[in-house]
Every structure is written in C-alpha cells, then in structure tokens.
Amino acid sequence: MLPDLTVTLDSPEATAAFARRLAPALRLGDVLMLSGEIGAGKSHFARAVISARLAALGLAEDIPSPTYTLVQTYDAGDLPIWHSDLYRLSDPEEALELGLWDAFDSALCLVEWPERLGDLAPETAARLQFSPGAHPDQRRLRITAPGSAMRDALSAAASTVPELAP
C-alpha cells in the first residue's frame, strides 16, 4: 500500500480547483470514496469534478446533491458519471439495488458516505477523507489511493494548483 497524501485546501475555491485539475485524469472504472462530516466539502468537490468533465465537452448542467435521489447520473461523452450520496442507506445491500456495484466497473463513481457500503466498497477505490482545517473555510484532505496511477493523478492535480503546491 502506498503512503497517504495530505493536502490542505484553504477555501472552497481551492477545493474546486483541485477537483477541476483532477477531473481530466479520471477514467472509466475509477471510484472516489468521499468521506467527512456534513458540510466537509464532499458535494462541492464532486460537483466540481462533474462540472469540469461536462465543460470539457461544452456542456453545462445543474448538478444537484443526490442526498434525496441517492444517485445522479451524467453523460460525459464516453464516460458515464455516477454521483451517489449513501447517507440515507440503512444497509449496504441497498447500494446493490441502486446498481452501484455494476457502475463501479462501467462509470466514474463519486461516492459520498462510502462507509454505508460496508464490505461492498471496491478495494481499488481511492479514499478522500475531508476534515476541518485551521479556519472555517479550510479543509484537510487525506488521500489513500491503492493504485499508483490514481495516486499519480491525485498528486499531479495537487501540484498544479498554485495554492496547493508544496
């Protein structure tokens, strides 16, 4: 297992910039598990990834939170995107009913509240843990990426955003 990366995001704008830089590197079958308390920046990050992928195709779309629908899907050309919020699930089996397991192989998946998946979370998923920083707008992001390609993409995204560079 590769060591974790830690990134400090000083503002919502820095979170969005990081997500926009990462978006082009994400591929079919990539799964990002987004963890953190309510208001930690998970949805903001996911919306920025989705917006960036759609904008690259000249598309703009409203990107609502999937809190009540559980899953929102987007057609980004040859890359279907699934954005799911599992907060309301009471059992990991409910994720199977949503078709999420199949989407892990056939789409880019952004999963909020992944702990609701229990043992069903894919081992290849990158885990992004959002936590509070030193001031109200700041977030600390701990990234665990089991594969070197995903880790490289995450490191490159962090290093190309000026306010995130070491």
Residue 92 included in any domain = yes
Question: Domain tally for the chain?
Answer: 1
Residue numbers of the domain that contains 22 = 5-159
- pLDDT digit string (tens) for 152-166? 888 888 777 655 544
Residue 79 included in any domain = yes
- pLDDT digit string (tens) for 20-42? 999 999 999 999 999 999 999 99
Q: Output the pLDDT for position 1.
A: 54
Q: Output the pLDDT for position 153.
A: 87
Q: What percent of the chain stands above pLDDT 70?
A: 95
31-35/139-144 β-pairing: unpaired
What are the φ/ψ torsions at residue 152 (nearest 5 degrees)? -60, -40
Residue 164 included in any domain = no
Please name every residue paired with 43 in a beta bridge, in sequence order, or none if there are none: none
Give dist(CA 111, CA 121) in Å, integer: 10
What are the φ/ψ torsions at residue 107 (nearest 5 degrees)? -155, 175
- pLDDT digit string (tens) for 95-121? 888 999 999 999 999 999 999 998 888
CATH code assigned at 48: 3.40.50.300
Q: Output the pLDDT for position 2.
A: 65
Residue 66 included in any domain = yes
Q: Report which residue type is found at 82.
A: W
